[in-house]
Structure 1
């Protein structure tokens, strides 16, 4: 009986150690140069080899195709108008609740319904979690 118990403990300990070793995060290390103490000029970012003209006329790094090239930057008039309003501040739910619902624009009304539903669901979930 005691022998079986000792075997099971040994098995549990070895599996815990195996999991610990398997889940450890390791980092790759390169070969260090002789006499270097790490860090320093070797780790500094390298200067870009692209000219300023190329950087200002193309979107560098936007190419996802193997044989493709980076897209050119166009004039502002060549892009759709909706693009320039993507980062505009949108009203919060509290601000939308203060306004009259019947006078809201369609986009703001859609946003109000979505945010109000989300708030109601969160409130119902918190009430259910307390019970």
Structure 2
């Protein structure tokens, strides 16, 4: 596995420096030695997660609080959220699908996406051609 990473680091560092990086000792998380046969804390996390009742899980967004003194936000009805939120999960057409369609009949958002993806593809192709020479 280390040899695979050496090839990616080749342009950045020398092999001697890479061996120093790979061979560097790391330390375990605080808390002393793990018990024999334990999974490193996964068992402790599972016990903590089951403390919450199903009612609390369905009415609050557990773990969304970012403030020290704050509380987890409550789940609101769908009508309380903005309309654009529900369109975030919509599938967007791929570049190959956009190329098959007539450009003049595309909606503005699809046309904008086509231009972006087409430019990105041309840049990648040009870069790969330059790299081979």
Larger Rg: 1
Q: TM-score, structure 2 length as denominator?
A: 0.71
Cα shift at 1:105: 0.4
- Cα–Cα, structure 1 residues 102 and 20, in superposed 2: closer, same or farther, change >3 Å? closer
Alignment of 1:40-79 (within 5 A): 44=43, 45-47=46-48, 48-79=50-81
1:38 Cα offset (Å)? 2.7
Q: 1:82 aligns with which of 84, 94, 98?
A: 84
Q: 2:104 corresponds to which residue?
A: 102
Give 1:57 deviation, angstroms: 0.4
Give the drift of 1:23: 1.7
Displacement after TM superposition at 1:83 (Å): 1.1
Matched ranges for 1:5-24 at <5 A:
19=20, 23-24=24-25
For residues 55 and 90 of structure 2, the distance between their equivalents in structure 1, rounded to whole angstroms, comes to 30
C-alpha spacing 1:20/1:59, structure 2 compared with 1 (3 Å): closer
Q: Secondary structure at the match of 2:47?
A: coil
TM-score of the pair, normalised by structure 1: 0.72
21 and 123 in structure 1: CA distance in 2 versus 1, 3 angstrom threshold: closer
Change (3 A) 1:67 1:77: same
Alpha-carbon distance in 2 for matches of 1:105, 1:38: 59
Unaligned runs of 5+ in 1: 1-15
Give the direction of change, closer, same or farther, for the CA distance of 1:107–1:20 in structure 2 (3 Å limit).
closer
5+ residue gaps, structure 2, are 1-16
How many residue pairs match? The answer is 111
Question: How far does the alpha carbon of each residue in 1:37-93 deviate from its partner, in whole angstroms, 9 at most, with x for none?
Answer: 4328x8623152222211110001100001111100000111112211211111111
